[in-house]
Amino acid sequence: PASGRFDCHVVEPGRAVPSLEEDVREGLLFAPRSLPPKYFYDARGSVLFDRICETPEYYPTRTEDALLARCADAVIAEARPDHVIELGSGASRKTRHLLDAVERAGLRHCRYWPFDVCEPMLREAGERLLARHPWLRIDALVGDYLAGLDGLPRPEGRRLFVFLGSTIGNFEPQQARDFLAGLAACMGGRDSLLLGADRVKDPSVLEAAYNDAAGITADFNLNLLRVLNRELAADFELGAFRHRAVYDPSLQRIEMHLVSTCDQVVKFGHLGESLRLEAEEPILTEISRKFTRGSVDQLLHDAGLTAFAHHEPENGYFSLIHAQL
Ligand code: AVJ
């Protein structure tokens, strides 16, 4: 008989989360223009992101998935977790490798705590996982993990925190350090963190990954304008912008922009503001930092953590770093 079950808990933000309106006023109305990448992920954007992961050019997801399949037993042997807490769990597709390894290690008492903003996604993922692991107890956490770390439950026992997908690469250095330091503050001496980080590599490989031939990344980027049109009654013309993603080797990051193709004025009905854009003026919509073994170790160190195991494929395209206090 199944002992597994699914429960949902709301995590209150420990600090104020800026609204889309505030982010637009802060980031978009004045040059240099930018928006936080979290607004990509409405229903349509989430589907587009899944399709990006299927393109031949976008290697990170499948590389991390294969790597995790290969090293999950080692990670579970290193962590011996009583709880797996995943920040930004999404569909929990890659995490199933960890839970498979938990099962193989005979740790069926181990509980899974997926943390994400989207409750329907958590429920769907939970059902799939319970079908695969009927013994599993899932305590889904609904909230913004950037603001909700203080509200994290602190169950007794050893906790394995998981932060995959190289999402850490979407943060500016200071923000990445603060986030990891906040996580370190939640951790005790027996806990550990498994961090996924995409690696520096041939720029042509990196740029191809963010400029897939089928144009799905371009659609994903442009979809941000749809979100603004819907949420703030803006009148962006998607045809008056083009997608651009370029690798900056000095900053070791992909910079993704929406570039205005003409002089234009965009109105925000809900803000009573308009945005004047010149031809070729860019809006920075995402950075995606790429790491070396050294730079990711340094980042963890600066956050008060120590990497003790570094898992990577033969081509060195991606890293899963296991760290502790
Ligand atoms: C997987 C969210 C980290 O930076 O590669 C994919 C998202 N953006 N293509 C990344 C993304 C454009 C992404 N993250």
Cα separation values, 60 from 54, 158, 205, Å: 10, 29, 11
Ligand 1 closest atom vs CA 286: 8
CB atoms within 10 A of CB 196: 24
Helices assigned H by DSSP within 115-212: 119-132, 173-186, 203-209
How large is the ipTM? 0.98
* Amino acid making up residue 210: Y
Ligand 1: centre distance to CA 221 (Å): 10
Ligand 1: centre distance to CA 62 (Å): 13
Lining ligand 1 with CB less than 6 A are 52, 60, 165-167, 169-170, 210, 217, 286, 288
Ligand 1: centre distance to CA 204 (Å): 16
Q: Is the pTM of this model over 0.80?
A: yes
Ligand 1 closest atom vs CA 166: 3
The residue whose C-alpha atom lies closest to atom 3 belonging to ligand 1 is: 167
> Could you report the per-residue pLDDT of 49-75, keeping only the tens digit for each?
999 999 999 999 999 999 999 999 999
- pLDDT for 2 equals 55
The residue whose C-alpha atom lies closest to atom 5 belonging to ligand 1 is: 288
> Could you report the per-residue pLDDT of 2-41, keeping only the tens digit for each?
578 999 999 999 888 899 999 999 999 999 999 999 999 9
Which region, left, alpha or beta, applies to residue 285 given φ > 0 means left and ψ of -120 to 50 means alpha? alpha
Ligand 1: centre distance to CA 288 (Å): 7
Which residues of the chain have a pLDDT value below 70? Answer: 1-2
Ligand 1 closest atom vs CA 60: 5
Which tokens hold the place of 81?
Answer: 């977790």
Which tokens hold the place of 154?
Answer: 């602190």
